[in-house]
Amino acid sequence: MKNSKILAALAALALLGAVSACKTKVAEDVPGDFTFRGQAIHPAAINALYRSANGQINLADFKTNLEASQLEDQPGWWITDFEEDPFSQKSPFFAYVAFAGSVSGGAEIYILSITFNAGETADIDNILLLQKNGSWLGLIRVWNEGSACNGGILAQRMDGENFLYSRELTPLDLLDLSLDVRLSLNAHEDLEATSESCYAAANYVYSLTQDREDLVSVRLYDEPKLDEKGLTDKLRYQSCFNRVFNAYVAEGKTALAPKEVDEFARRFRDECLKPAAALPAPVDK
């Protein structure tokens, strides 16, 4: 009888140990998967990292009750929704997609494309370069925020050690890409610069190995721009810009190398900004 009790007690302890082992077993992370303890890193953790004062976060200490899910129409993207704002009745959100870089000495490099809205009138986009080392995430580089036609980010992808992406351009953004022709123009006074003023897209490549970014090309959208009464005529140079833009589209010059962006800016300057030649004074007869 005593032996039976001992055996039962040992069996119970063995079962308890097995349960405890199951509870404490931590899933290993595969380098390049951007996971922590076997789960995709929570978007709320990336949001906290993005807004942190020191650009670091310990995932082991991060806690949240928010749910994370994948975007069905955008594979690879993870999103979390925050509580609805009672005043704007908008639901803030934060989403990201991760692209794996190199792994060295246990440290993993990733590029993240993020998009979020914390009450802004339009969603905000940005790009992050970060390092993951165990449970720690650290920001290495943060690009400039963009939104809709004002630098919205699209077509993100990795090609070896190069990260390629595009940014939407307003007329002002397009001219600002010129290195040889510098113009002093004001948004909303001289040219359009709204969230709906998409005229082109700038294509960039960032080299992880060289930590260098280059403008590869600019693609003009091939739909001619029409002047709108009550809008175009309120801007000093928009109508003239439209004429230059439409001429490029009509000529089939919609894929511009960086030097051709200089030529576009030079043509705009010469045709739109220089004062017209003075007409000769009338001759009295």
**pLDDT greater than 70 at residue 7:** no
Mean pLDDT (whole number) for 143-159: 96
Mean pLDDT (whole number) for 128-143: 96
Torsion sign (Cα): 233, 239, 240, 241: positive
**Contact between residue 190 and residue 236 where contact means Cβ atoms under 8 Å apart:** yes
Residue 113 CB: number of other CB atoms within 10 A? Answer: 22
Mean pLDDT (whole number) for 83-89: 74
pLDDT at 283: 47
**pLDDT greater than 70 at residue 278:** no
C-alpha 156/C-alpha 164 separation (Å) is 6
Nearest Cα residue to 44 out of 80, 12, 75: 80
pLDDT at 25: 66
For residue 115, what are the β-bridge partners?
A: 95, 125
N-term to C-term CA, the chain? 138
Mean pLDDT (whole number) for 201-215: 96
pLDDT at 16: 47
pLDDT at 113: 98
CA angle centred on 185, ends 224 and 124, rounded to 5°: 70
**pLDDT greater than 90 at residue 88:** no
pLDDT at 285: 41
pLDDT at 264: 98
pLDDT top residue among 281 and 231: 231
pLDDT at 105: 74
The runs of H, that is alpha helices, within 132-221 are: 171-176
pLDDT at 4: 53
Q: What is the pLDDT of residues 33-42, one digit of tens each?
A: 999 999 999 9
Helix-helix angle 238-250:258-268, to 10 degrees: 130
Mean pLDDT (whole number) for 224-237: 92
- Predicted confidence band of residue 90 (pLDDT cuts 50, 70, 90): confident
pLDDT top residue among 257 and 89: 257
Mean pLDDT estimate for the chain: 88
pLDDT at 47: 97
pLDDT top residue among 27 and 250: 250
pLDDT at 280: 45
Q: What is the pLDDT of residues 164-200, one digit of tens each?
A: 999 999 999 999 999 999 999 999 999 999 989 999 9
